Amino acid sequence: MSTTVYMVQEKSTAGKLKAPLNVEAIKDGRFKKNRLVIVNRSNGHKYLVDSSTNISILPRLKPQTWIKPTEVKLYAANETSIHTYGNEIVTLNLGLRRRFVWYFVVADVSQTIIDADFLQHYKLLVDIAYNTLLDSNSVYRDLLKEYIEITMTAPRKEGIHQIQHHITTRETPMSERARRLPPAKYKAAKEAFD
């Protein structure tokens, strides 16, 4: 079962709160089949990709009593508050031929979440059907755009030159392909082996 998390700035003055930002998360670290979870190849950590969130969240690893929570809090759908502990810069290696550096909010959550801003900034595409993250900024993409004919199923165009390559040989071939025996020789060979 999923839990909706809200982010608001806690103020000491009274007044009406602004509309919260929705952040979808999963409690207990369980995933539905239609969720995309990617792995940082540098350290093996798993990241839930949520294209509807506005902040990236990193779980606080060790409870450290001397670190005080910040004023920014996250709120779950049941209105329980989730403390945050500042930001952390994380370098991700997702196996897409480049590294990704991003700011994550450290909070008391169980699962790391990658937000839509990260996807938009690095021009990444979410493919739930194949459970992958695609890089739309690829060198190969530009090459395929330049040489589009190699992806076409139509036959290749012939070259405009008049050069023909051939090798002249005067000797007998090194090998020949197998051929059937003439009927008379086949009959004689069959009688010899029977």
pLDDT band of residue 182 (cuts 50, 70, 90) is very high
- List of residues 6+ apart from 182 with CB closer than 8 A: none
Lowest mean pLDDT among 42-46, 97-101, 148-152: 148-152
Q: Where are the domains of the chain?
A: 30-155
* Residues 4-14: tens digit of each pLDDT: 454 544 444 44
pTM summary value: 0.56
Q: Which CATH superfamily is domain 30-155 in?
A: Acid Proteases (2.40.70.10)
Question: Do 142 and 149 contact (CB within 8 A), yes or no?
Answer: no
- Report how far apart, in Å, the C-alpha atoms of 141 and of each of 129, 134, 150, 169 are: 21, 11, 13, 45
